[in-house]
Chains A and B, each alone.
Chain A
Amino acid sequence: MKRLTKLILAVGVLLFALAGCGFPGIAGTDRGTIKIAAMSATESSVMANMLAELINHELGYPTTLVANLGSTTVTHQALLRGDADIAATRYTGTDLTGTLNLPVEKDPKKAGAIVKRVFKQKFHQTWFPTYGFADTYAFMVTNQFAAQHHVATISQLKSLAPSMAAGVDSSWMNRKGDGYADFTTTYGYDFKRVYPMQIGLVYDAVAAGKMQTVLGYSTDGRIHSYDLTVLKDDKHFFPPYDASLVVNDSLLKKYPKLAPVLHRLDGKISVAAMQELNYQVDDQLKEPAVVAQEFLVKHNYFRGGED
């Protein structure tokens, strides 16, 4: 029995050592590696790969992805526990109402300021300025429809709405605060018919002409490939979902050169650019890693000015 205890002890010690030291050849097993969390959505994966490539190429620090995380909550926990150091995509709207449990704030600037302040105080994390795109709900029509009826904003649909069919995300229909009921009050009109459906199907539905307008996500790659026009939310009805990266302060302290490099992406990726990147992954069979690298090379790693 003595031997067995010794053995178990040895196994325990080894496992403990395992958690600490690295395996040569596998990125992410070493303590110094910068770990970037990515959610399973294409957009998140592309941005995480972009950060990894940027850090790796410009500073030479080893990086690894903690990929396929299911939700913002999981990502948040991973950062708090130190399983990851950087969250590639966080959205002001989601974190404001979800993570922080605060009321909806419709002014993007104010929403950004609140999450930035509270995350600093509560979690010692730095919320970076937005990449420049927001992944929010947006009404969209075909380019042909937009040209024919001269519409560019949601308000301009008012006269057409009584004859229009709209497809929307089923979870949006009965949502409080920014759902359909509140939408009709804010914009002052109703569509003739509203079809609640799965969000992934709306793009095909509008492109096929089955309905005149649909509510989809503003950065989806299919907006580009199906020739759709996103209508401007001129009454600022939908809460802002500006995308940013969030970093643990401990990492920024450890690598002082990191912040300036990460700031190179501030405001550099427009909604159209993100749509194009998503399109290349979702439609052109390219890996997010490949798309991210090509994008950075094309823009010379955003070296303008800082260096």
Chain B
Amino acid sequence: MGSPAPVALGDATSARAPATSAASVAVPPRPALPPHLAGVVADESALRRFLYGLPGVDPVGVESRAASLATRSIKKGSKLAALDLAISMVDLTTLEGADTPGKVKSLCAKARRPDPDDPSTPQVAAVCVYPDRVSIAAAELAGTGIGVASVATAFPSGRSSLSIKLADTRLAIESGATEVDMVIDRGAFLAGEYGHVFDEIAAIKAECGETRLKVILETGELATYDNVRRASWLAMLAGADFIKTSTGKVSPAATLPVIHVMLQAVRDWRTATGRQVAVKPAGGIRSAKDAIRFLVAVHEVAGPEWLDPFYFRFGASSLLNDLIMQRRKQLSGHYWGPDYVTVA
């Protein structure tokens, strides 16, 4: 953590590629920050002052509120509606070294029709893959309305040069990705180099253009709720369309208290700027019951406007099977087993 040397931060109206970037990036104008926030991205020390000036999170309070909301029981018709909503919010994900074209295709087939026995089951929101698998997914999902999300920027660690991260992003977008999931440089964030993190997000956002950018905070590595709040604001100031909890490669991943803090951030951000930023918990959400707890938190903390696949997503792979089994349980009245759900 060095002295706050004046770092060239992309400001609200004329974000420019940082000096380290070899590529010259055509930058579409971002919506202007309101006057009271415009100053905070002027230089690194202003940004640091602003982030440290955010109110601290009361960990006991947020954990107990998350726990108490998790006890809420959703039954019958509401439960069925919640299950359908959760299915439509799933970013069906496969992020393995062993992802074959066949596996991506079968995942896409599952995304198109999650439950072949019941055509009334909604489609998922998007399929999430590595950049070099985007072209396969984009071809499979063409015309379905299902998005193709791609992780980028040296996922999952984020430890590479900016030019490589930009090239990674470009590969994803040129292959047909409709959403890009980037990881922040946690090492820089934890070292207090907020300007560096800000510049990187702004540069990737500039590379994305109209493509929606999800910024992965990797909350499991940020150590404190205060850091989660700071990282959320930092990402939104830099132009994130989504803030996402985790890569799914680090434990703990998406927990209810962390999502509470992030939902508070997007709610406050909307109050401050009028823009609604989406939230995506990812990793560790395996059961329909967990998913419904997240939806309750969304409704209670951020507000019902976020209960929409455009503003809230689940990054998950096995969650979808449990959602389908619980949906069938609601409709048929008896429990189902994995034998009756397609694998993907």
Q: Answer whether A and B are interacting partners.
A: no
